């Protein structure tokens, strides 16, 4: 019998730790099962690829790579790395392939020092969100995370003038505790929901011991985009659907979280196009 909803985070922390230590976690044990209708698909326009996954191919042939993604069935991309191209040139290549850019990752320094330029580029790309890819290491404390939250609120005010919203992409460090507080929770609580949202990386949340599904319930409408990344039994990266994370259970309440984009990511794929194909097929066929 799966644990009760109140015990889900405790269960996930324990099972994830076991997987990392023993490399023997089964798919059924990765996340507790959830009662799901079992007939809700992810709409095709919501299935995207975060282009960091494809970075080696993009560096060689950007236009050909995005055409290949469209041929697989992807509808959208998250831009991460220009590979020498301007925002306008990338937009032209995406338009030619029939893909839409929904966001671009930028460094925290750009968010705080050149946000207007970042916003202008996202508008050129046709996206909705300007996303911080990570935080400086010095900010992973309670005081630092509050400083980051204040910076996100200020940036959100600027982005709103461009018709955009600021999002933050997490790693596992956001799920550390300081002063009895989970840093990610502090970010959620101290940012303005009208100005700041989150691109929740479900793999890194699991590595930190937390279930993305709980966040959808506890913080409605804060997560317009996801990084859908699977975990291998030993804790490494896996193609979506080939690892231990139970996406059907995780996504049961995705609508409550406000999820609009399910962006595939793999940090180190052996074969980028194979990962793209495998991951797309799993999300296309998934029911929750």
Q: The domain spanning residue 222 has which CATH number?
A: 3.20.20.150
Rounded to whole angstroms, how far apart are CA atoms 286 and 247? Answer: 8
Provide mean pLDDT across the span 250-275.
98
> How many structural domains compose the chain?
1
Provide mean pLDDT across the span 233-260.
97
Which residues, 6+ apart, have CB-to-CB distance to 271 below 8 Å?
none
Q: Residue 44 domain-assigned?
A: no
Rounded to whole angstroms, how far apart are CA atoms 70 and 65? Answer: 9
Q: Residue 43 domain-assigned?
A: no
Residue 68 C-beta-side C-alpha neighbours within 13 Å: 15
Q: Residue 225 domain-assigned?
A: yes
Is the pLDDT at 170 greater than 90? The verdict is yes
Q: Residue 48 domain-assigned?
A: no
Write down the pTM of the prediction. Answer: 0.88
For the chain, report the end-to-end CA distance as a whole number of angstroms. Answer: 19
Q: Residue 51 domain-assigned?
A: no
Rounded to whole angstroms, how far apart are CA atoms 23 and 28? Answer: 14
Q: What's the pLDDT tens digit per position in 266-279?
A: 999 999 999 999 99
pLDDT score at 38: 79
Print the domain residue range for 230. 5-29+62-285
Closest of 165, 95, 108 to residue 138, by C-alpha: 108
DSSP for 89-138 reads HHHHHHHHHT-EEEEEEE-HHHHHH-HHHHHHHHHHHT-SEEEE----GG
Is the pLDDT at 16 greater than 50? The verdict is no
Is the pLDDT at 11 greater than 70? The verdict is no
pLDDT score at 34: 42
Average pLDDT, the chain: 90
pLDDT score at 37: 64
Q: Residue 189 domain-assigned?
A: yes
Rounded to whole angstroms, how far apart are CA atoms 122 and 248? Answer: 31
Continuous segment of H or E residues that includes residue 71 = helix 62-72
Which residue shows structure tokens 């490494």? 236
Rounded to whole angstroms, how far apart are CA atoms 26 and 196? Answer: 36
Is the pLDDT at 177 greater than 80? The verdict is yes
Q: Residue 54 domain-assigned?
A: no
Rounded to whole angstroms, how far apart are CA atoms 155 and 114? Answer: 10
Q: Residue 210 domain-assigned?
A: yes
Is the pLDDT at 6 greater than 80? The verdict is no
């Amino acid at each position: 019998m799966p644990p009760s909803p109140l015990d889900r985070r405790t269960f996930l922390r324990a099972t994830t730790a076991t997987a990392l230590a023993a490399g023997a976690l089964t798919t059924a044990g990765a996340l507790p099962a959830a009662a799901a209708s079992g007939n809700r698909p992810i709409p095709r326009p919501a299935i995207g690829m975060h282009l960091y996954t494809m970075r080696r191919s993009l560096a060689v042939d950007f236009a050909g790579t995005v055409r290949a993604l469209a041929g697989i069935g992807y509808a959208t991309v998250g831009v991460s790395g220009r590979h020498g191209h301007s925002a306008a040139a990338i937009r032209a290549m995406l338009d030619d392939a029939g893909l839409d850019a929904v966001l671009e990752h930028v460094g925290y320094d750009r968010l705080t020092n050149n946000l207007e330029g970042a916003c202008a580029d996202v508008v050129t790309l046709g996206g909705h969100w300007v996303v911080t890819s990570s935080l400086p290491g010095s900010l992973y404390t309670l005081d630092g995370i509050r400083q980051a939250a204040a910076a996100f609120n200020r940036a959100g005010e600027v982005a709103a003038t461009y018709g955009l919203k600021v999002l933050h992409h997490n790693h596992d460090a956001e799920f550390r505790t300081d002063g009895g507080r989970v840093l990610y929770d502090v970010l959620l609580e101290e940012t303005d929901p009208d100005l700041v949202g989150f691109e929740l990386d479900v793999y890194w949340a699991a590595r930190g011991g937390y279930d993305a599904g709980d966040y959808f319930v506890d913080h409605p409408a804060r997560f317009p985009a996801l990084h859908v990344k699977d975990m291998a039994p030993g804790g490494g990266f896996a193609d979506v659907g080939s690892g231990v994370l139970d996406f059907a259970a995780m996504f049961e309440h995705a609508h409550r979280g406000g999820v609009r984009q399910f962006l595939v990511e793999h940090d180190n794929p052996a074969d980028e196009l194979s990962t793209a194909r495998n991951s797309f097929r799993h999300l296309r066929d998934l029911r929750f």
